[in-house]
Amino acid sequence: MALTSCRSNPAYIDIHKKTKREYYIGIRKAKQKFFDTKFFFSKNRPKQVWNAVRSLIGSKSKNQPAGFSGDFEKLANDFNRHFTALPAQKINHIEAKIAKNLKCLPNSFYVFDVLESEVVNTLKAL
């Protein structure tokens, strides 16, 4: 019997669907039984659950940061350099945005920072 004639045969289609359904039900039950026994006998259930989730989605456990060479002094210096440079980078970014917006709005005004002493001196001069 040719393959095309089998695929068009209604009896073949019904048998195929039934067999496929039974196969997936069997796979689902086997996985459920496997993980039930794995979790039942584990001492640290949350850890086992997360390990199972990671194994199912295909991700690996990472105990170290990516690119970490084991040199803790270098790691500390990298963190220090990052977090000390970050505020200056953010300020420069904000100032650049303000300058860009000022160029785009020629009829607008910008209020510069005012010190308390400047306000007191101005009020005294009135």
Whether 80 has a pLDDT exceeding 80, the answer reads yes
Q: Over 50: is that where the pLDDT of 1 sits?
A: no
Cα-Cα-Cα-Cα dihedral sign, residues 54, 60, 62, 67: negative
Residue with tokens 């803790």: 72
Residue type, 25: I
pTM of the model: 0.36
pLDDT at 110 exceeding the cut of 70: no
Dist. CA 51–CA 45, nearest whole Å: 10
Report the C-alpha gap between 58 and 45 in whole angstroms.
20
Band of the pLDDT at 67, cuts 50, 70, 90?
Answer: low
